[in-house]
Structure 1
Amino acid sequence: MKKGFLVLALTARFTCPAFGASTPDVPADSSVPVVPSDYVVDAGDVLEISVWKEDGLTKQALVRPDGGITFPLIGDLQVGGQTIHQIRSEITRKLGEYFAEPEVSVSLVNLNHKIYVIGRVNKPGEFVTPNRVSVMQALSMAGGLTPFADDDAIKIIRRIGGKEVALPFDYDAVASGKSLEQNILLQRGDVVVVP
């Protein structure tokens, strides 16, 4: 009985604000992606755009393969390759021709964030993630390493400025708490190769 009480008390301590626990600002809908400020919008992402006190100017927009969206009063707008802040600023500037100081809100409601894990993992393939994930998280999504995987020779293939570069990843070092800087957040299109 005492053990059950302890579990209940610990659960209450970490979930009930009355116990003085600091609760992080987590959205009620956990499917809402957490987007870093430097995230660059690309084709397949879905934006939600709204203008305060203008109900007709609320829209979810799928970013087309050419990086564009269509928005009322503005028409076509190129958003691919821009951050949410840059998109909000551009929409605010363009709507400024119609409204005095429009209050524009732009959020990302769905990321088309694909990464790939190939080689000696249990479930290789393409993974669409709602948020950016680390290398260790990606390997977990792929079912972990197979017994014959060369865990200290894993590479992340990333396209930077039109060229592909290979970033090293030593699984054992990261798993033991060393070389944690190698456990980077993967970018859209990254390929984790497990030899």
Structure 2
Amino acid sequence: MWKVAALSAAVFLSGCANNVLPPSDVTKMTSMKDGEYQYQIGTDDVLSVFVWHNPDVSGDYAVRPDGKISMALTQPILAAGKTAEQLADDVTEALSEYIKNPKVTVMVKSAVGSVSAQVRIVGDAVKPVSIPYRHGMTLMDLMIQVGGMSKYADGNDAVLVRIENGEPKEYEIRIDDLMVDADLEANVDLKPGDVIRIPEAWF
């Protein structure tokens, strides 16, 4: 609980951050090395489970509020917090009691994401929104996805809050320079769990 309180306090802090993130390297396809980030399944995600030669148990399964999926033959299986590969291993183990040498593939068909795998925008001049993090996502990608800011927002006074070593740390970001002036030096890489706070402009 103290981590949640600390993050909330940092997000809504009115003072300016003194830390600056390096610009995103637009020459790279992604901001992380291959395999460094793996999506973790969240509640309300829809998963496509394929069991080779067993269409009766193959299909699309929604992750329940308790984080589990309900499949034929097995007890409910915990999915939330796992990667697709980890869940495939668990489904394989569960089905092996009923099917000889099951071959299972799990894919995320529709992603909502766990809280730790989301990027959030809050503030006085924006509608709060959570977006599932995508591998290689940048600040520009996020702003395009949410449709930009309202006319009352002060994008150049925005702050990115990121948990580092268990503590919230604030970074200055310049959304107006990025989205209005196309200053790519203001584009930064995002990480799962980042929170963007956009204050209201003073006219």
Instruction: Supply the AA of the counterpart residue of 1:144.
Output: M
Equivalent residue, structure 1, for 2:128: 125
CA 107–76 in structure 1, closer or farther in 2 if over 3 Å, else same:
same
CA contact 1:157–1:164 (8 Å) conserved in 2: no
Using the TM superposition, give the Cα deviation of residue 75 of structure 1 relative to its aligned residue in structure 2, in angstroms.
Answer: 1.7
Alignment of 1:22-41 (within 5 A): 38-41=38-41
CA 120–97 in structure 1, closer or farther in 2 if over 3 Å, else same:
same
> Does residue 104 of structure 1 match 2:110?
no
Alignment of 1:149-168 (within 5 A): 149-151=154-156, 153-158=157-162, 165-168=168-171
Equivalent residue, structure 1, for 2:10: none
> Does residue 177 of structure 1 match 2:184?
yes
Using the TM superposition, give the Cα deviation of residue 39 of structure 1 relative to its aligned residue in structure 2, in angstroms.
Answer: 0.3
Instruction: Give, in whole Å, the separation in 1 of the partners of 2:147 and 2:127.
Output: 6
User: Can you give the 5+ residue segments of structure 2 that lack an aligned partner in the other structure?
Assistant: 1-35
User: Can you give the 5+ residue segments of structure 1 that lack an aligned partner in the other structure?
Assistant: 1-35
Using the TM superposition, give the Cα deviation of residue 87 of structure 1 relative to its aligned residue in structure 2, in angstroms.
Answer: 0.2
Instruction: Supply the AA of the counterpart residue of 2:68.
Output: G
Equivalent residue, structure 1, for 2:6: none
Structure index of larger Rg: 1
Equivalent residue, structure 1, for 2:139: 135
Classify the secondary structure of the residue corresponding to 2:57: strand
Using the TM superposition, give the Cα deviation of residue 95 of structure 1 relative to its aligned residue in structure 2, in angstroms.
Answer: 1.5
CA contact 2:74–2:95 (8 Å) conserved in 1: yes
Identical residues among aligned pairs (%): 21
Residues 58-79 of structure 1: per-residue CA shift (max 9 Å, x gap): 1211111211111111121111
Instruction: Supply the AA of the counterpart residue of 1:143.
Output: G
Which of structures 1 and 2 has the larger relative contact order (alpha carbons within 8 angstroms, sep 6+)? 2
Instruction: Give, in whole Å, the separation in 2 of the partners of 1:192 and 1:69.
Output: 32
TM, length-normalised to structure 2: 0.61
Moved over 6 A (4+): none
Instruction: Supply the AA of the counterpart residue of 2:138.
Output: S
Instruction: Give, in whole Å, the separation in 2 of the partners of 1:99 and 1:93.
Output: 10
CA contact 1:110–1:130 (8 Å) conserved in 2: no
CA 120–54 in structure 1, closer or farther in 2 if over 3 Å, else same:
same
CA contact 2:153–2:198 (8 Å) conserved in 1: no
CA contact 1:44–1:64 (8 Å) conserved in 2: yes
Residues 46-93 of structure 1: per-residue CA shift (max 9 Å, x gap): 111121111101121111121111111112111111000000011112
Instruction: Give, in whole Å, the separation in 1 of the partners of 2:164 and 2:72.
Output: 35
Equivalent residue, structure 2, for 1:92: 92
Using the TM superposition, give the Cα deviation of residue 155 of structure 1 relative to its aligned residue in structure 2, in angstroms.
Answer: 2.2
Instruction: Give, in whole Å, the separation in 1 of the partners of 2:153 and 2:70.
Output: 50
Q: In angstroms, what is the RMSD of aligned CA positions?
A: 3.3
Instruction: Give, in whole Å, the separation in 2 of the partners of 1:78 and 1:160.
Output: 28
Equivalent residue, structure 1, for 2:77: 77
Equivalent residue, structure 1, for 2:61: 61
Instruction: Supply the AA of the counterpart residue of 1:170.
Output: I
